[in-house]
Amino acid sequence: GENVEQHPSTLSVQEGDSAVIKCTYSDSASNYFPWYKQELGKRPQLIIDIRSNVGEKKDQRIAVTLNKTAKHFSLHITETQPEDSAVYFCAASTGGNKLVFGAGTILRVKS
């Protein structure tokens, strides 16, 4: 079955700097890749997603890139702010509805 690896497990950046989180997946049939942000004690919130027919997607300060050949995708957050501090999860799906999640990245933005 699908396996998703996520790195790094923790990431500390200075406010205003950029943050990059990377995920690799194993199943070449995966075609949907969402990213969720989870604040302490809260539900996971979808922040951006990308499908396999697109190489890059951007939404304000957040962007996701996908490299199907290498089977990896990345989350890029620019101009980080303290409110970006949270746990970020990547996930992959083959379109059969099942999401397989990465282990998560704790992002700390220092002001």
Partner 1 sequence: SAVISQKPSRDICQRGTSLTIQCQVDSQVTMMFWYRQQPGQSLTLIATANQGSEATYESGFVIDKFPISRPNLTFSTLTVSNMSPEDSSIYLCSAEDRFRGTDTQYFGPGTRLTVL
Which residues in this chain contact partner 1 in the complex, by CB under 8 A?
1, 32, 34, 36, 42-46, 49, 89, 93, 95, 97-104
Closer residue to partner 1, CB minimum distance, 98 or 110:
98
Task: Tell the smallest beta-carbon distance from residue 90 to partner 1 (Å).
Answer: 10
Closer residue to partner 1, CB minimum distance, 29 or 46:
46
Rounded to an integer, what distance in angstroms lies between the CA atom of residue 69 and that of residue 2?
Answer: 16
Task: Tell the smallest beta-carbon distance from residue 111 to partner 1 (Å).
Answer: 24
Task: Tell the smallest beta-carbon distance from residue 52 to partner 1 (Å).
Answer: 13
Rounded to an integer, what distance in angstroms lies between the CA atom of residue 44 and that of residue 49?
Answer: 13
Contact 8, 90 (CB under 8 A): no
Closer residue to partner 1, CB minimum distance, 9 or 18:
9
Task: Tell the smallest beta-carbon distance from residue 25 to partner 1 (Å).
Answer: 14
Rounded to an integer, what distance in angstroms lies between the CA atom of residue 101 and that of residue 49?
Answer: 13
Q: What is the CA radius of gyration of the chain?
A: 13
Rounded to an integer, what distance in angstroms lies between the CA atom of residue 95 and that of residue 31?
Answer: 6
